[in-house]
Amino acid sequence: MHNSAYYPVLSERSSSELLLSILNVMVYAALEFASLVMTTIVLKGTLGFSSLQQLEFVLETQAQNIQNKLTVTFLYAMQISLVHLGSHTETPFYAVSIQKQFFDITGADFSFTLHADKSSLCCIVIASLKQLFVQGFGLGMPRLEALDLELLQSIFQASTQAETAETGTIEPLDSYDLLEQCSAEDKQRWVDRGLEAISKGQVCALVLSGGQGTRLGFAGPKGMYNIGLPSEKSLFQLFAERLLALKGLAASKFPSRPRDAIQIPFYVMTSQMNHETTVGFFREHKFFGLKESQMFFFPQGTLPCFTTDGKLILESGHKLATASDGNGGIYKALESSGALAKLQACGVKYLHVFSVDNALCKAADPAFLGYCIDKKADCGNKVVWKASPDDRVGVVAKRNDRFCVIEYTEIDREMAERVDPRTGKLVFGAANICNHFYTIDFLVDVVLPNSSLAYHVAHKKIPMADDKGTTYTPTSKSGIKLESFIFDVFPLSSRMAVLSVPRETEFAPVKNPPGTPTDSPDSARHMMHDEATAWLLAAATSITKGAEDVDSFVHEKLEKAQRIEISPLVSYNGEGLETRVKSLMEGLPQEVIRLESRNLMANANSIPASVRHTFEKAGQGHVFRFVDAGKITVQDACDLAESLRQYDPSQLADLFNRSTSADSAIAVADDEVTPLEEGVVHQLSETSPELKKKWLDLGLEAVSKGMAGALVLSGGQGTRLGFAGPKGMYDIGLPSGKSLFEIFAQRIAKVQELAQKRFDLDDTPKIPLLIMTSEMNHEATVSFFRHNGYFGLSRNQLHFFCQGTLPCFTEDGKFILETASQLARASDGNGGIYPALKRSGLLDHLGANNVQYLHVFSVDNVLCKVADPVFIGYCIDQDADCANKVVWKTRPEESVGVVAKRNGAYCVVEYSELDRAASERVDPATGKLSFGAANICNHFFRLDFLQRCCNQSDAEYHVAKKKIPHVNDEGTATIAPTSNTGIKLETFIFDVFPLSKSMKVLGVAREDEFAPVKNAPGAASDSPDTARQLISNQCKRWLLDAGAVFADSEPDAICEILPTLSYNGEGLKEVAQQLNQDPWLQHVSK
């Protein structure tokens, strides 16, 4: 018996059928051999070989291969027939070998059943012969069969002859429209007509995307390139989202048509090189929200490369040299791919075609579509006007009274520089930006029937095969590429419309590598930023009543945003942004303003790839779980991503490990904590008048030179005071009704005045006032200053910046989510001043403006002498890089940290760190508490020390275990725990004291410099009531020192002297002389 494992099934076959199959094998194989011979004859006259022997050797080899195959096939066919006709009862000795050769050569599978049709065996043989020819002679049978050599020869001849043909008379455009000069009514009519056509399914958008991102340093299709927007969206995604936005606009404008029925077909012309990659990219990203049914991908064509005498060029021993047939190949590709027929079947009437590398292109622009429809145009073109005669760009013009595009090389200098005296624009200035409109009828009835054989000739260095078949690149132009341009059909148009649009809103080419000043990802990104800024400004102007609010929005929000991006899903062309702008005006300043859809649900692609990679690599990928599950909106995912950008998860992991380790170490450490030595604290009350005068003059001199600044720590809310607002806005009940902020601002103004008088200056010097807010109160604080005219200070001397936050951690260092789209975060403490100064750029600003000294104080001390020239002068005199004002504790149990030393270095010891014995220890020499130098958050920093503090990379934070609210497993609610669930990290402003090389401590009188406002009204201490009384008592002392005499009839009456009158009791003699007993309040304005 034969071995059936080696044989295809041939059951139920008659001998005649089997013999017919064998005959077919031989005939088909013979035809293949004849085809090879004919190919040899043709190729000898067509291929441009450097050596004819090379061609003959290849052909002889293939002929021998076919002859061998014929022999094997014949023997195998004969053997099958003998076995199945009963001549053999078992497999001949040579059968297995022959069968193996047959199946190796043909690639046939044993599972094939040849009884399906009588010619299946010969079909396998013929297919295998073709495959052998493809593999051995890499031109490939399919490619050679597809080549019409006579047509190619005709194309070559027509193209090379047209290369030297007369160009005809070139004239500038005599009919076009400038969009910016058109009436609002016309523009709205065009938009409405365009949206109507979209609503009826009459519009298709087509992107020319056959190019690679090679010049950009990107190894992929250019449409997949991310130009660096915050969203990291590709060009493809931008275009797709613009089409989705138009669907919504059309549905809103024409509600009678169901929204789901409105679709804009999106056609993507690829190239042989990038077709599969492009299709895969769209599929991977779920077509960016479009339906797969509205997508159509098709590659543009290619043409062989020629020698100068018309011979085909081999790129290698087995590959023909080919090149794209240019973007003008779109017309034949539309027809051959079936795309055009599909558009006709779908009722599409209008086609918008644009290049993939224009990031600002308004895909399916309804204004442009409506303009062309209104003009009854069969072909339309968007242009931007050339800014310079030297711009190397083709221009739309006329040749022999027909529309065309003239390459810049065709225009001589005189023509390039010619200016229209009526408009002041270049006459030949209508720059072509590859942005076109066509009617489908024009393509079908005019363009395709009148296709020209003449292509543009490009002489290039074409890689080619050497004598051994190895590819090399010539050093000089070695051949010809033929290509057509999309605008070659313009002369065929009988009703062409040309619309000039603003370059800054419509043309952001992405051609050159990053870092290039023009036509690069950077320039495109900046143009998109500028457009988004203009949209937001226009929306703000439309919803605000006064210019002041708009100016504030620009200064506080738009100018501080380093990057602004508005998704097309939010606004196609600036419309519908009013609600978003209102939220921005009420919110915090952002380094990145990014607006995304609040209606669409997020998916994994909603998180920028770089953000996802960074956090997943650091083991924090769980923060994306609700994004990936589609449980939050795209805007929520955007907000999450942008909040994550401010953190480096690897650095935070190091900080967490370092801080928790340090916390454990402190718990078991045996640090030596000692009170300050005698003489370390300079007591202002014990200082001579001459020395205080010296310090005052040194401080005022620093102010007069612009070298002194002030910074108020004002991130807190007035919650404990029963006040729903920033604590600095609180009115403690003084007769003037002034807030803490106003009191501080007026003290600064008074110091400026004192410095001007002391040094007889023409202009009043300015003390920069830095205001550190929090996310909770920033906008309210800024608005408060703005609406109060900055309390007499100039706007440019005020600088608002926000204190930082840090994520909250689980015990094992994972970030905690408070909601499905928000990290659980907490303030990084008042020690966050250092990273915040650096992050905001204010540290650099101080240095650039020669501010060398900074007075930092807490907002809740109403007696604080802001920018105190005595304190500043003291520090300058003592060459302090860091200094602290202290008041002495009055009782051991006072809940305040004290300045002391730990292991010999300055520090602040929290009251909770001191045991009872240490707290009550008294210095026998003074009778004061040993640990009594109470820290009142009143500091001096020299700029060089501040810079060191701001650039720390190994800071340790304090660990606080807290009840941290966190999201539930479903992402639907936030759980408020009843026990500690996580860790907050914070740092204190005095944590840097050990870094000081020359720290000084100045002791001041509590009654003159410390009136804290922490507790609610009615509290016995540190309340608005006690602070108000302390101010009144100080003012009374000043007046008494100036010679005033008070009656005792109203001992509890509140006395207030405005800072505009006196900073520290000076200049009150005249007031004291004029003072009567009623009222106590002294309102004296300057």
pLDDT of 11-22, one tens digit each? 444 445 545 555
Least confident of 440-444, 474-478, 932-936: 474-478
- Write the DSSP string, 492-532: G-SSEEEEE--HHHH--B--SPTT-SSSSHHHHHHHHHHHH
Distances (CA, A) of 862 to 596, 738, 866, 891, 989: 44, 11, 10, 22, 20
What single letter denotes the amino acid at residue 695? W
Q: Is the dihedral of CA 992, 994, 996, 1001 positive or negative?
A: positive
Q: Is the dihedral of CA 181, 186, 192, 193 positive or negative?
A: negative
Q: Is residue 721 within 8 Å of 1024, Cβ to Cβ?
A: yes
327-331: average pLDDT: 95
The pTM of the whole model exceeds 0.85 = no
The whole-number pLDDT of residue 31 equals 55
Task: Count helices and strands (H / E) in the chain.
Answer: 33, 40
Residue 858 has pLDDT above 70, yes or no: yes
Q: Is 473 exposed, middle or buried (0-12, 13-18, 19+ CB in 10 A)?
A: exposed
pLDDT digits (tens, 9 = 90+) for 204-241: 999 999 999 999 999 999 999 999 999 999 999 999 99
The whole-number pLDDT of residue 255 equals 92
Q: Is residue 807 within 8 Å of 815, Cβ to Cβ?
A: yes
* Listed ranges 249-258, 530-539, 542-551, 1063-1072; the one with the highest mean pLDDT: 530-539
Determine the Cα–Cα distance for residues 296 and 234; give it in Å rounded to an integer: 19
Residue 137 has pLDDT above 60, yes or no: no
Q: Is 145 exposed, middle or buried (0-12, 13-18, 19+ CB in 10 A)?
A: exposed
The whole-number pLDDT of residue 547 equals 85
- Write the DSSP string, 876-894: HHTT-SEEEEEEE-SSTT-
The whole-number pLDDT of residue 140 equals 34
Q: Is residue 886 within 8 Å of 1001, Cβ to Cβ?
A: yes
What single letter denotes the amino acid at residue 131? Q
Determine the Cα–Cα distance for residues 60 and 282; give it in Å rounded to an integer: 46
Residue 428 has pLDDT above 90, yes or no: yes
Which stretches of 336-419 are assigned E, i.e. beta strand?
350-355, 379-385, 395-399, 402-406
Q: Is residue 854 within 8 Å of 946, Cβ to Cβ?
A: yes
The whole-number pLDDT of residue 151 equals 83
The whole-number pLDDT of residue 408 equals 84
The whole-number pLDDT of residue 25 equals 53
Distances (CA, A) of 439 to 65, 243, 571, 1028: 53, 19, 27, 80
pLDDT band at 1080 (very low <50, low <70, confident <90, very high): very low
pLDDT digits (tens, 9 = 90+) for 1000-1020: 999 999 999 999 999 999 999
H helices present in 321-365, as ranges: 330-336, 339-345
The whole-number pLDDT of residue 240 equals 98
User: Which residues are within 8 A (CB) of 187 and not within 5 positions of it... i.e. 6 or more apart?
Assistant: 179, 367
Contacts of residues 529-532 at CB distance under 8 Å and 24 or more positions apart, as own/partner, are 529/563, 529/564, 529/565, 530/504, 531/360, 531/504, 531/505, 532/564, 532/565, 532/566, 532/593
Average model confidence (pLDDT) across the chain: 87
Q: State the greatest distance between any 2 C-alpha atoms of the chain, in Å, as a whole number.
A: 144
Q: Is residue 356 within 8 Å of 206, Cβ to Cβ?
A: no
The whole-number pLDDT of residue 23 equals 54
Domains of the chain in start order, with CATH, are 4-146 (no CATH), 160-511 (3.90.550.10), 524-651 (no CATH), 661-1014 (3.90.550.10), 1016-1086 (no CATH)
The whole-number pLDDT of residue 666 equals 53
Task: State the distance between the two ends of the chain, measured CA to CA, in whole angstroms.
Answer: 124
Residue 2 has pLDDT above 60, yes or no: no
CA torsion, ordered 163, 168, 170, 173, to nearest 10 deg? -100
pLDDT digits (tens, 9 = 90+) for 160-178: 887 665 567 899 998 999 9
For the chain, percent of residues with pLDDT exceeding 70 = 84
- Write the DSSP string, 816-850: PEEETTEE-EEE--GGGHHHHHHHHTHHHHHHHTT
Residue 129 has pLDDT above 90, yes or no: no
pLDDT band at 1085 (very low <50, low <70, confident <90, very high): very low
Least confident of 81-85, 416-420, 519-523: 81-85
Determine the Cα–Cα distance for residues 431 and 387; give it in Å rounded to an integer: 9
The whole-number pLDDT of residue 1047 equals 66
The whole-number pLDDT of residue 885 equals 98
566-578: average pLDDT: 98
What single letter denotes the amino acid at residue 266? F
The whole-number pLDDT of residue 122 equals 44
